Amino acid sequence: GTDSLSPSRDSFSNDSRRGSVLDKRNSVRNSIEDHELNFIKVAQLLQTITNFDFNIFELNEYMGKKALYYLTNAIFENLEIDYLYDPDKCKNFLMAIAKGYDRKVQYHNDIHAADVLQTAFVMLYHGQVKERLNLQDVDILGVLLASACHDFKHPGQNNIYNINTKSNLAIRYNGISTL
């Protein structure tokens, strides 16, 4: 006979499945808690976008390639110019711009674009540029989008490098302003 105190195959597999389910539940719970904590940290960080000491690298740590979108969105909301565009189209546009920045390029990447965007915003915000130059909301939108896009698809080399190596860009533009 079988010993009633020893586990059967069925009870062992049930315990394994139960353990697996509990592990998955704990993993999901931890993931949700991490997500909520990150959400809180990102929200707190985005509240500091009007400061010159805003930490774009910290935002990047939490948001990755989405940092440019979330920062732009927060800036547009802060300036109350989010009425000028369709939110879904803007998100798609900004995500495409972020995708066009290559993280392998050390400097001219999406982190740099977000940094330039935030710096332009702080200069507009604290320098009262809008008032001094009598800019309209659409002008501000253009300045900020240009800041976000200014190095889109930058190859990581300068004009001289492209000209000297006879890169495709230098050939296409006859060695004049290859970037």
Catalytic annotation, residues:
108
Find out whether 148 and 73 touch, Cβ atoms under 8 Å: no
Find out whether 40 and 112 touch, Cβ atoms under 8 Å: no
For 71-103, the three-class secondary structure string (H helix, E strand, C coil) is: HHHHHHHHCCCHHHCCHHHHHHHHHHHHHHCCC
Neighbours of 152 (CB within 10 A): 15
108: tokens are: 């001219």
